[in-house]
Amino acid sequence: MRTNVALATIMSDASYEFTPCPVCGAVAATEVAGVDDIRAEVERLWAFQGRRLDGETPICRLIDRVVFSQGPPLRLVACDTCAHVYRNPWERREALERAYRNAQASSISFEHLYRAQRPAFAAQARRLLATAGASGRGLEVGSYVGAFLAAMQRTGWSFEGVDISRDAVAFAADHGLNVALGGIEDVHPGRPYDAVVVYNTFEQLYDPVAVLCSARRVLRAGGLLALRVPNGTFYRRWRARLRGPFAAFAVRILAHNNLLSFPYRQAFSQRSLSLLLDRAGFAPVRVVGDTLVPVADHWTTWLGAVEERGVKWLERLVQRGWRAPWVEVYARRRPDAAGDRRAALATAP
């Protein structure tokens, strides 16, 4: 009853709407976490970060640790048909875009993120080169501070980025990166790209299907799409352990991967992502399981940094492919007309 009253109160501000499964359209879903469960996760996250961060840590360094562009969900469900995990109700398009468009961070915070993310994006750049070839033209959707674009600079690839945050685009441009304000729907290349990548952004989009169809439009036949998304099945498995004897370990596993309190719009299952790619005219060619990029920095206690390295090392060792907290999926644009028909159907009302 308390949960229902809280939901009804929040829903009355008109920023939220109910939705069927955004991947398969099914209505039947199972609740993963309610208002009180999410509140308990947020409290655990603050306690976790409070233990591992220096007491003098400035507020701006809490961005992407306990403060995210998307606030915590009201309620999370999993689709009974495709196991997709999503907020329901979730933020309307205007409320969501406002949150990202207004996402501001100080230039110091952007610089910290840029430096912290570069080593991890160098590894992603190597994986892209191994899958897509040594050279080509590419587009990154949601390029943010530009760490991936920077990692691709000394390769045979020419990469551009788009992002809807004016501050992030200005920061990346100041670092000499080729970025533009906007989304993939605003991109009209003279000739098709060889690769489109969407890293740590796809799960936050209002309409991922429309983005995949745009990716198909700007990619050449056989061109590569790379997505990096949180694993919804992983989240469900480990959040179920928050109540058991392994609760302390489950907190660490989820928090080190930015999954505690679920600051995303949705997270994928193997089935839901395969379904989405197939409908948009893409054929998966490679799956790589991974952890979140390292986040320990100057403000993290030495014990916190050592623990993070240890937990992520162990996870990368034993949690491969769709057992991992984050999953990179590489898929090729189907060259056939059937792919175009599927993509057209995917955007049909």
Q: Which residues bind Zn ion (CB under 5 A)?
A: 21, 23-24, 26, 79, 81-82, 84
Q: How far is the CB of 86 from Zn ion (least distance, A)?
A: 9
Cis-peptide, bond into residue 72, ω within 30° of zero:
no
Closest by CA to 299, choosing from 65, 43, 72, is 65
Residue 308, C-beta contacts closer than 8 angstroms, at least 6 positions apart: 52, 256, 294, 295, 296, 300
**Could you tell me if 314 and 252 are in contact, meaning their C-beta atoms sit under 8 angstroms apart?**
no
Query: Rounded to the nearest 5°, which phi and psi values hold at 101?
Result: -65, -35
Q: How far is the CB of 170 from Zn ion (least distance, A)?
A: 38
Closest by CA to 15, choosing from 67, 104, 87, is 87
Q: How far is the CB of 21 from Zn ion (least distance, A)?
A: 3
Query: Rounded to the nearest 5°, which phi and psi values hold at 38?
Result: -65, -40
Q: Mind giving me the DSSP string for 30-88?
A: EEEE-HHHHHHHHHHHHHHHHHHB-TT--GGGGBTTTB-SS---S-EEEETTT--EEES
Closest by CA to 159, choosing from 200, 118, 189, is 189
Q: How far is the CB of 340 from Zn ion (least distance, A)?
A: 24
Structure tokens, 195: 């690769």
Q: How far is the CB of 81 from Zn ion (least distance, A)?
A: 5
Nearer to Zn ion, 29 or 74 (CB): 29
Residue 198, C-beta contacts closer than 8 angstroms, at least 6 positions apart: 140, 141, 142, 211, 215, 225, 226, 227, 228
Span between the terminal Cα atoms of the chain, in Å: 35
**Could you tell me if 342 and 280 are in contact, meaning their C-beta atoms sit under 8 angstroms apart?**
yes
